[in-house]
């Protein structure tokens, strides 16, 4: 699996709406993520800033498949009023450090 990271932004004042909607993600959205090829997917929030991390065999083609999925298109339309108008920042981030497994003390 290859890791991928991207950033997004929530509209100011919509942080709680964003969190509430993600506490009840539609089952068809989770199915769409799996169909597209997501292995792991996490979103981290700090105020209006979001950082998303996912793993997939081929992250670029995974995102392309996801964009074509009707369930994701409906979710994104529903989330559009919550999200800032800027597109996601999907640079090719390069991992510079990773700690694996439990450490010994």
Q: Catalytic one among 7, 9, 21, 22?
A: 22
Answer yes or no: 91 catalytic: no
Q: How far lies 2's CA from each of 15, 41, 51, 57, 102, in Å?
A: 29, 12, 17, 6, 22
- Rounded to whole angstroms, the Cα distance separating 65 from 23 reads 24
Residues with catalytic annotation?
A: 22
């Amino acid at each position: 699996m290859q890791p991928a990271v991207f950033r997004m932004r929530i509209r100011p004042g919509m942080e709680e709406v964003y969190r509430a909607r993600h506490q009840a993600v539609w089952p068809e959205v989770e199915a769409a993520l799996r169909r597209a090829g997501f292995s792991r997917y996490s979103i981290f929030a700090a105020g209006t800033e979001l950082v998303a991390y996912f793993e997939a065999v081929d992250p670029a083609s995974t995102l392309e498949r996801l964009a074509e999925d009707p369930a994701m298109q409906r979710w994104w339309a529903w989330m559009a009023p919550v999200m800032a108008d800027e597109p996601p920042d999907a640079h090719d981030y390069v991992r510079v450090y990773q700690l694996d497994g439990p450490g010994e003390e």
